[in-house]
Amino acid sequence: MNEERTGHSLSATALVHEAYMRLERSSSTPDVQRGAFVFAAAEAMRRILIEHARARSRLKRGGGAVRVSLDAIGDVADLDAASGEESESVFAFDEAFRRLQEHDAGAADVVRLRFYAGLSVPETARSIGVSARTVDNRWAYARAWMAREMSTWSGGADGGPPGGTDHDGPRKPG
């Protein structure tokens, strides 16, 4: 477990590079629309996270209860850094995101742009053509909805309060 804990399979920087490169490769047309570009970036990022998590969980498949520490998921880099049993949280997050997409596409778009593509609130607002306040609202809603979704999806074992039960210890967000 110790090795698992320290052995982040990819640094945040590496992940970012890979997303960037994939994007470059997949978008051969130079005049990709701005919005499409960002969405594509977000989608590429999401897929990379899943692929990495899959690769890691193949290497180490822990039995027992799946524990997901929501508090530890501050940004995409945290998801990418998740290792061992924690890589389950990547699947849980992705599952929650896809359900959100079915549940409310508008909120899901905000998550795409804010969380996966990393846009600021005004940037997100401009990209999808809504007000910044709407983005703020959708963002808050999406976070809450996904949090709730994840704690039920993973067999009721939510992360507990900050710094709670996760035996790998709380990871500092960010």
Residues 114, 106: Cα–Cα separation, whole Å: 12
The tokens for 77 are 């880099």
85 contributes a contact to other proteins by CB under 8 A: no
- Using DSSP's 3-state secondary structure scheme, residue 83 falls into coil
How many whole angstroms separate alpha carbon 38 and alpha carbon 60? 33
Tell me the C-alpha distance between 147 and 53, whole Å: 19
Q: Applying CB under 8 A, does 155 fall inside the site for other proteins?
A: no
Span from 2-10, 49-57, 58-66, 112-120 in contact with other proteins (CB under 8 A): 112-120
Retrieve residue 156's tokens: 């009721």
Q: Could you say whether residue 77 binds other proteins (CB under 8 A)?
A: yes
Residue 134 has a CB neighbour count (10 Å cut-off) of 16
Interface pick for other proteins out of 5, 54, 98, 133 (rule CB under 8 A): 133
The beta-strand segments (E) located in 2-120 are none
82 lies in the site for other proteins, by CB under 8 A:
no
User: CA 37, CA 39: separation in Å to the nearest integer?
Assistant: 5
Question: Among the candidate windows 2-10, 24-32, 54-62, 160-168, which touches other proteins by CB under 8 A?
Answer: 160-168
Taking CB under 8 A as the binding criterion, the range among 1-9, 24-32, 51-59, 133-141 that sits at the site for other proteins is: 133-141
Is 120 an interacting residue with respect to other proteins (CB under 8 A)?
yes
The residue ranges that bind other proteins (CB under 8 A) are 11-13, 16, 19-20, 34, 38, 41, 45, 70-77, 104, 107, 111, 114-115, 117-120, 122-123, 126-127, 133, 136-148, 150-151, 158-162, 173-174
